[in-house]
Amino acid sequence: MARRRWRRRPAAMAAAAHPAAKPPRAVIPRRLLAALLPAALLLALLSGCASGTMRGVDAHPPTKGLLHVLQQAGQMGNVSDRGYRVEVEVAEGQPEGGRETELRLRVLNPSGQPAEDFAEDMTKLMHFIVVSKDLAEFQHLHPTYEGGGAFSLKLTFPHGGPFLLIAEFMPDGKGLTVYKTWIEVGGAKQEANPPVPSAAPSIVADGLEVKLSSMPSTGELKAGEMAMLDFSVRKAETGERIVLEPYLGTPGHCVILDANAQQYLHVHAAAEMSTGSSVMFHATFPKAGVYKLWAQFQYEGKVITAPFVVNLS
């Protein structure tokens, strides 16, 4: 049996290793800045009263709280494959829509050799996203590591046609790495249903009403500027607030793709700015256009997926 070997994610971030280096600046719209500035000033004052001196956040980057959220916003965007590749093998020829398929994934480093050391990212060694070309179908899976750079999983493609496979992992101490590839699935194809901006601010999924609000508002989101995305969850029938459970080590996950499936973001909840029934994300959309968001939470042991579509100018 192949030996399983991996390293855990390093505890220190690059900013801490080079305290003199200034982190990337987030572009924050004036309206959002005006809303957040009082809280930021209050936080700074409280820090000053506690320590007796005011520390520069560039020299001592915050690791939690509002300022941490603001600084991290400038670091979101498409993540490179760093020269790594993921070979996809199907157990029995071409996959068929509606039938369970077993995939074997082989991660190769830039030299073409199997990558063997992987760090955990949000409790998993690999996140595997599967979406149809029109973004109508979505799956967020976690393959099993078999050692020697090989992962395996079983899944069912809902129908035939092209599907995008996105593997997200942290190999060889290189940090977050994303590799995207397409696969053609046999069988009957569905009529394309391209994403259109959501007409309502809320949807019902598995008996829960999930409502999206944002700063700036969804009609005023702009590419290159930080957006705060807040999802509130209640019981659909009664309106009763619920208490969400941690999902993969965080209050929630949000996968984002543009309409052409070229721009990809996978953002995690800002835990300090989330509550039991409300989960806050921050993201910077790289380009203008239509984007589809899949927000995911866990309630009573079940993962809830809430899709929304927004249009950025």
Q: What is the pTM (predicted TM-score) of this model?
A: 0.76
- Position 40 scores a pLDDT of 43
Sorting pLDDT into bands at 50, 70 and 90, what band is 183? Answer: very high
CA 35 to chain centre: 25
* Order of all β-strands in the sheet with 264-268: 264-268, 253-258, 289-299, 302-312
Q: Taking phi first (over 0 means left), then psi (-120 to 50 degrees means alpha), and beta for anything else, what does residue 41 get?
A: alpha
Distance CA 105, CA 84 (A): 12
Structure confidence by residue, pLDDT tens digits, 279-313: 999 999 999 999 999 999 999 999 999 999 999 98
Q: HSE of 236 in the Cβ direction (CA atoms, 13 Å)?
A: 9
CA-CA-CA-CA torsion sign (54, 59, 63, 64): positive
Average pLDDT, the chain: 81
- Position 42 scores a pLDDT of 34
The H or E element containing residue 69 is: helix 65-72
- Position 272 scores a pLDDT of 86
Structure confidence by residue, pLDDT tens digits, 254-285: 999 999 999 999 998 998 889 889 999 999 99
CA-nearest of 228, 277, 227 to 252 is 277
- Position 6 scores a pLDDT of 45
Q: HSE of 256 in the Cβ direction (CA atoms, 13 Å)?
A: 26
End-to-end Cα, the chain, rounded Å: 53
Report whether 177 contacts 169 (CB < 8 A): yes
Structure confidence by residue, pLDDT tens digits, 69-103: 443 433 344 578 999 999 999 998 889 999 999 99
* Order of all β-strands in the sheet with 161-169: 138-141, 126-132, 161-169, 177-185
Q: Please, what's the b/e burial string for 233-265 (b: 16 or more CB within 10 A of its CB; e: otherwise)?
A: bbebeeeeeeebeebbebbbbbbbbbbebebbb
Sorting pLDDT into bands at 50, 70 and 90, what band is 18? Answer: very low
Structure confidence by residue, pLDDT tens digits, 132-173: 999 999 999 999 999 999 999 999 999 999 999 999 999 999
| Integer-rounded Cα radius of gyration of the chain | 21
